Amino acid sequence: MSISKQAFDRHDHSACVVSALDAAELLCARHGARLTGRRRRVLELVWRSHQAVKAYDLLAQMAREDPSVKPPTVYRALDFLIAQGLVHRIESLNAFVGCVRPGQAHHEQFLICDDCGTVQEVEVPEVGRSLTKAATSAGFQADHQTIEVHGRCDTCCQPASRR
């Protein structure tokens, strides 16, 4: 089982942003949901990097661009993006990241670097299945699970001179 680690590697991030926005347009069209300019902009800001972003940072950026933007505007946009499966909330950070596989059913599993804040979404389905199975045999009906693994990415483990 290999784990994608793109978020932790140097890469052309503009390609990530383009494909995330394209996928969002497609998915919203398929769901008959409206990706308004503001919702799209919030998604774009969430995707500015692979680091989890706080709602108040999004708000500050949005308000710089348009002073009429108020907190509920940003929270509602985030709720919409989460409901559409385009954004995940990282519970342990109370922050947000873009989903790397929107439109595909998957468990929420994340590797989180505590130094740089980079979050890599991973897919280890057997872990999800094992947990669901264990829950069932414990007499518990699991309907949602989020796994957040904290640690440090390769870049942050290297001595500063090699970064």
**Per-position x/- string for 88-127, each x denoting binding to Zn ion as judged by CB under 5 A, each - no binding:** -----------x-------------x-xx-----------
Distances (CA, A) of 96 to 46, 68, 99: 7, 23, 9
**Closer residue to Zn ion in complex, CB, 58/121:** 121
The only residue of 4, 13, 21, 92 in contact with Zn ion, by rule CB under 5 A? 13
16 binds Zn ion (CB under 5 A): yes
DSSP of 11-59: --HHHHHHHHHHHHHHHHHHHT----HHHHHHHHHHTTSSB-B-HHHHH
Two structure tokens written together for 97: 């990241």
CB 148 within 8 A of CB 110: yes
Q: How far is the CB of 71 from Zn ion (least distance, A)?
A: 25
* Closest distance to Zn ion from the beta carbon of 35 (Å): 17
* Segment interacting with Zn ion (CB under 5 A) among 10-18, 27-35, 70-78, 125-133: 10-18
Q: Which is nearer to Zn ion, 58 or 153 (CB)?
A: 153
Q: Please, what's the b/e burial string for 68-81 (b: 16 or more CB within 10 A of its CB; e: otherwise)?
A: ebeeebbeebbebb
Which helix H or strand E contains 90, and what residues bound it?
Answer: strand 87-90
In the complex, least distance from residue 66 CB atom to Zn ion, rounded to whole angstroms: 26
Site for Zn ion in 59-78 (CB under 5 A): none
Touching Zn ion, residues 122-151 (CB under 5 A): none
CB of 84 to Zn ion, least distance (A): 11
Q: Are 114 and 76 spatial neighbours (Cβ–Cβ below 8 Å)?
A: no
Question: Applying CB under 5 A, which residues contact Zn ion?
Answer: 13, 16, 99, 113, 115-116, 153, 156
